Amino acid sequence: MRSDMTTTAFTIDGYRVTRTLGVVRGITVRSRSVVGTFGARVQTMFGGNITILSELCERARTEAFDLMCQHADGAGANAVVGVRYDAAEVM
């Protein structure tokens, strides 16, 4: 499935939904190494953007998106509408 056939809207301009195949998902759980966690703690002391954690979040989001697209492909989809992102702390 092409990533340009995904949207947070419930329609894609120029296309119509003819069949719904169900919910697809992309779930990932990521963690920093001990060194990365220490680096993030150092960055918090100086304030501002904590780039180590921002990069981790971006990698997790990208991985979750790719997994969602793979799940959609496996279901036979050619698009995903109504995409939503969610994040939660587990530990």
Q: Is the residue at 71 inside a domain? A: yes
Query: What confidence category does residue 2 fall into, taking pLDDT thresholds of 50, 70 and 90?
Result: confident
Higher-confidence residue: 76 or 43? 76
Give the pTM: 0.79
- Spatial CB neighbours of 39, under 8 Å, sequence gap ≥ 6: 52
Q: Is the residue at 76 inside a domain? A: yes
For 12-40, what is each residue's pLDDT tens digit? 999 999 999 999 999 988 777 766 666 66
Give the number of domains in the chain.
Answer: 1
Q: Is the residue at 43 inside a domain? A: yes
Query: Domain range for residue 71?
Result: 24-83
Query: Of 3-7, 25-29, 51-55, 64-68, which one has max mean pLDDT?
Result: 64-68
pLDDT at 46: 74
Q: Is the residue at 89 inside a domain? A: no
CA gap 85, 53 in Å, rounded: 17
